[in-house]
Amino acid sequence: MGNNNENRQFDAIVIGSGMSGGWAAKEFCEKGLKTLVLERGRDVKHLKDYPTTNMNPWEFKHRGRIPYEVEKENPIISKCYAFKEDAMHFFVKDSEHPYVQEKPFDWIRGYQVGGKSIMWARQTQRWSNFDFEGPARDGFAVDWPIRYNDIADWYSYVEKFAGISGNKDGVDTLPDGEFLPADDLTCVETYFKEQVEKKYKDRHVIYARCAHLTKPNEIHLQQGRGQCQKRNLCQRGCPFGGYYNSNSTTIPWAEKTGNLTLRTHSVVHSIIYDEQKGKATGVRVIDANTKETLEFFAPVIFVNAAAYNTNLILLNSTSNRFPNGLGNDSGVLGKFVAFHNYRARVSAQYDGMLDSITDGRRPTSAYIPRFRNVYKQETDFLRGYAMTFSASRGTKQNNDGFGEALKKNLLAEPEYGPWYIGSGMMGETIPKETNFVSLDPVKKDEWGIPLLKISIDYDDNDEKMIQDFFKEMTTMFTDAGFTDIKTSDSKQAPGLDIHEMGGVRMGNDPKTSMLNKWHQLHACKNVFVTDGASMTSTSTQNPSLTYMAFTARAANYAVEQLKKGTL
């Protein structure tokens, strides 16, 4: 697109091209709307822009490790599990996009077409009514304006297109979905499942649902995607399209309609509000390279910049009508943000089943849905936690000797150790007004936009939940005959969970929330927010599938309203 004579009027504008923005683009373009997608980073085309996807370990200069100089210059992003030599080009470096930490927060970002959908961990669980009803039942945040039945069909809609593997487990806290075949649990994971479910009627060990094409359907073949090869190199971008990301699915699907205009290197400054019309008319953009200010116009705007950047854009969208940020009549914009507590782990060993080994790779492992405080309040903390669970055997290699002796030892059959058991906690944190993001009054980025200031921390509820996880998992491990049980608390700052949510929460009452049940700003009906910023509470499930379903539902509604002329 040229900058001077381009047509800047569209039917819809979508800010962001990641997990939810890609879905907005797909839905609008499929339904015939001329759609502009604004992406602040560079373009990343499926296959073409995955430079490391087929490299062998020895082809990396540092064998996959991050060089010391890079690690030293990037102390925050270097903490992320996927920030390695093979994928570091997809992550935002600390020095390039600074932010202000009032309290320690590790903000993990990916500024490119596809966003973090290229590097995500691909876990996809539905929410249940236990999650949507939680705030009203337990007296925190505000009541969700929707329930599971409002979103169930949209979960199915996005699952069929994205491709989700899993089993029909019949667990009421984790509704079943439209699944491709699941991979298998290891024999010790199956053994643990049997032991747990024998003793506890409300605890379940299942194979985790994940966005991998174990057996592609026709819709996936139409997308040009193939079966997951279980390479476990997903963060590089998959040449087979074996897992879901925006780059291989929703963005090219939108492009083939001829209705998509994708503008990269476009840093959104603010949303333009027209005082006379009483609605938003467009988006103000600063070209990342030229620093030129441009304006684009459309009757409907979807903000999908990822949770905290979505908050930043709305906070920076001020006018006489909205001096404290677009739609912020309630004063809650930027407040009541929350995240997932990933600090706690329990490990162990198992000396049984030594006649079996693990062979090959899987994209994920077992998963234990939340069981605490589900049907009634039974602990001294609110809500609960889900857990990962894995069991595998490692090998010991004999590295003794020199020359022929060393060669002989290295070529010998490896010696297998015991089964190594691991479990991690994903705890629901409670949204609080004291956890917030705001704009720094002085510091600005290179495009003149205020830096985001983050003030978020754990609380007593989180600490009690960690101790309960340690206690319950230790008991379950002991009952299963596991040994050498160890608990650990990483004490990591919020942020490394990469599940930031809230700040533009949904709710029934415009006095205490930002968005209605259709994700429209209460006070500016033609602006929608469907990414993590819209979340009223966090549940214990990985949130990306819910963002996708929310976006498809809201986009469908927006198109209906456009046809009626109400936007």
- Please check whether residue 424 is in contact with residue 365, taking contact to mean a CB–CB distance below 8 angstroms: no
DSSP state, residue 184: P
435, part of any domain? no
Q: How confident is the model at residue 3 (pLDDT cuts 50, 70, 90)?
A: very low
Sign (positive/negative) of CA torsion 244, 114, 51, 260?
positive
Shared domain check, 420 and 294: no
Interhelix angle 544-564/148-162, nearest 10 degrees = 100
Which residue, among 431, 421, 420, 424, has the nearest Cα to 386 in the 3D structure? 424
Cβ proximity of 313 and 325 under 8 Å: no
CATH number of domain containing 275? 3.50.50.60
Q: Which residue has the higher pLDDT, 156 or 358?
A: 156
| Residue 410 domain-assigned (yes or no) | yes
> Does residue 470 sit in the same domain as residue 524?
no
pLDDT tens sequence across 59-72: 999 999 999 999 99
pLDDT band at 152 (very low <50, low <70, confident <90, very high): very high
Please check whether residues 120 and 143 belong to one and the same domain. Answer: yes
Question: Would you say residue 299 lies in a domain?
Answer: yes
pLDDT at residue number 395 = 81
In this structure, the answer to whether residues 257 and 355 fall within a common structural domain is no
Chain segment 384-402, per-residue pLDDT in tens:
999 999 999 988 777 888 8
* Rounded Cα–Cα distance for residues 86 and 102 (Å): 32
Is the predicted pLDDT of residue 123 greater than 50, yes or no?
yes
Neighbour count for residue 146 (Cβ, 10 Å): 18
What mean pLDDT comes out for the span 141-152?
98
What confidence tier does 6 reach under pLDDT thresholds 50, 70, 90? low
CB distance 508 to 120 below 8 Å: no
pLDDT at 339 exceeding the cut of 50: yes
Residue 100 lies in a domain: yes
Compute the average pLDDT of residues 310-318: 98
Q: What is the pLDDT of residue 5?
A: 42
Does 459 have pLDDT greater than 90?
yes
Mean pLDDT score of the chain: 96
Q: Is the pLDDT of residue 151 over 60?
A: yes
- Write down the pTM of the prediction: 0.95
Q: Which residues pair with 100 in a beta bridge?
A: 453
- Can you tell me the mean pLDDT for 145-151? 98
Written as one string, the DSSP assignment of 394-447 is EEE----SSHHHHHHHHHSPPEEEEEEEEEEEEEEPPP-TTSEEEEEEEEE-TT
* Tokens matching residue 111: 């500024």
pLDDT value, residue 148:
98
Same domain, 81 and 56: yes
Task: Decide if 414 contacts 396 (C-beta within 8 A).
Answer: yes
Domain count, the chain: 2
Mean pLDDT along residues 232-257? 97
Looking at the fold, whether 508 and 423 belong to one and the same domain comes out as no
421, 502: one domain? no
Assess whether 193 and 230 both reside in one domain: no
Residues 216, 197 share a domain: no
436 lies in some domain: no
Strand partners, 283: 271, 296
For 514, 540, 565, the CA distances from 206, given in Å and listed in that order, are: 36, 15, 47
Does the pLDDT value for residue 445 go beyond 80?
A: yes
Backbone angles phi, psi at 401, to 5 degrees: 90, 180
What's the gap between Cα 414 and its chain centre? 38
Q: Which residues constitute the domain of residue 8? A: 1-166+209-338+498-567
Tens-digit pLDDT profile for residues 283-309: 999 999 999 999 999 999 999 999 999
- Does 483 share its domain with 510? no
CB atoms within 10 A of CB 323: 8
For residue 484, give the amino acid letter: D
Rounded to an integer, the average pLDDT of 431-445 is 97
The SS3 call for residue 59 is helix
Whether residues 420 and 508 share a domain: the answer is no
Torsions phi, psi of 241, nearest 5?
Answer: 65, 30
445 within some domain: no
49 domain residue, yes or no? yes
Residue 307 near residue 337, CB atoms below 8 Å:
yes
Q: What angle do CA 536, 542, 267 make, to 5 degrees?
A: 70
pLDDT for 2 beyond 70 = no
How much is the average pLDDT of 449-475? Answer: 98
Q: Are 242 and 223 a contacting pair, CB within 8 Å? A: no
The secondary element (H helix, E strand) that includes residue 469 is helix 460-479
Give residue-wise pLDDT tens across range 70-105.
Answer: 999 999 999 999 999 999 999 999 989 999 999 999
In a domain, 453, yes or no: no
Query: Where is the domain boundary, 447, 476, 493?
Result: 493
Rounded CA separation 476/486 (Å): 13
pLDDT mean over 314-321 = 98
Q: Domain end: 473, 493, 513, which one?
A: 493
User: Looking at this protein, which amino acid is placed at residue 430?
Assistant: I
Residues 408 and 278 in one domain: no
